Amino acid sequence: MNSEPIISLSHVTKRIGRTTLIDDLTFDVPQGEIFGFLGPNGAGKTTTIRMIVGLMSITKGQILIKGKNIKTEFEQAIRHVGAIVESPEMYKYLSGYHNLVHYARMVPGVTKERIDEVVALVKLETRIHDKVKKYSLGMRQRLGVAQALLHRPSLLILDEPTNGLDPAGIRELRDYLRHLTRTEGTTVIVSSHLLSEMELMCDRVAILQQGKLVNVMPVQHFTRGNDKVQTYQIQAQPPEQALVTLRKMAAVQEAKLTPEGIIEIATERECIPDILLGLMQNDIRLYGVQMVSQSLEDRFLEITGGGQIG
């Protein structure tokens, strides 16, 4: 996408005393994307979000929201943001609808039509006139999202929105976030410590570890976007020469040598015979081949270099 990013972080750093909580984060999120912050507890997801929404100062670097600097043009920047960082305050003895009406009074330009619209967006139509105390956790959260959407933000930020939701709730969350990006063009940032959830929800994820950005990548890269591509281990002699040969092959998507001296490649099953033949034609001796099924978590560990999750 060529258009200006909705949010742009450059060299964002947060220090408190001598501790660096966030270290030199740089990335952009384009319009309409669902973008995830993925990382173990303590990685710095909430801290990053707090800086984005102006709840915490930025030590170094800058954050632009639709080109407006959150530090120097706070009002113009924050106008584009709707966020749930801590769980939103709701009046339990009022209906969901009256909570929204009450909140809307504090936000300029919110019409009754807009209230109905956000209720529909988060799919609360049938329960919106029930009292909030009767809502499930997922419904309360949806009401919070509806509230955050009232002023038509370009960017919606939800910190750990799947916490406490069951799988069905997570699926619903994903569906309405997707619906939101499609119908309103909203950009969404969500954080989570669970890769499996991010994979279902996001287009791209930024992987955070100990305050550092490990990588930003499309979620398909975790599964390689292709179920047919699997990891295979090959025992070959000499391994270094085998690696050089494998890396020249178009059918081989990745090739590396494990510390145990075993080669690992990513490829499709159909390509295996030709790959082995190619090795043999290069005078490489083969001792064994096997498929290693790799879970998302394994893939995560590989990408983060072995850090713990969750």
Chain contacts with ligand ADP (rule: CB under 6 A): 16, 21, 39, 41-47
Shortest distance (Å) from residue 141 CB to ligand ADP: 17
Instruction: Tell me: does residue 47 bind Mg ion (CB under 5 A).
Output: no
Instruction: Tell me: does residue 141 bind Mg ion (CB under 5 A).
Output: no
39 binding partner (options ligand ADP, Mg ion, none; Cβ < 5 to 8 Å by kind): ligand ADP
Distance between CA atoms of 249 and 246, rounded to whole angstroms? 5
Shortest distance (Å) from residue 144 CB to ligand ADP: 18
Residue 217 contacts residue 36 (beta carbons within 8 Å) = no
**Is the Cβ of residue 47 or residue 231 nearer to ligand ADP in the bound state?**
47
Distance between CA atoms of 292 and 306, rounded to whole angstroms? 18
Instruction: Tell me: does residue 46 bind Mg ion (CB under 5 A).
Output: yes
**Is the Cβ of residue 47 or residue 245 nearer to ligand ADP in the bound state?**
47
> Which residues lie across from 257 on neighbouring strands?
263
Shortest distance (Å) from residue 201 CB to Mg ion: 16
Distance between CA atoms of 300 and 101, rounded to whole angstroms? 43
180 binding partner (options ligand ADP, Mg ion, none; Cβ < 5 to 8 Å by kind): none
Distance between CA atoms of 94 and 65, rounded to whole angstroms? 34
Distance between CA atoms of 192 and 177, rounded to whole angstroms? 15
Cite the beta strand spans of 97-211 per DSSP E.
155-158, 187-192, 204-209
Distance between CA atoms of 175 and 139, rounded to whole angstroms? 14
**Is the Cβ of residue 163 or residue 196 nearer to ligand ADP in the bound state?**
163
Instruction: Tell me: does residue 48 bind Mg ion (CB under 5 A).
Output: no
16 binding partner (options Mg ion, ligand ADP, none; Cβ < 5 to 8 Å by kind): ligand ADP
User: Which one, of 47, 159, 129, 303, lies nearest residue 144 by Cα?
Assistant: 159
Q: Which residues bind Mg ion (CB under 5 A)?
A: 45-46
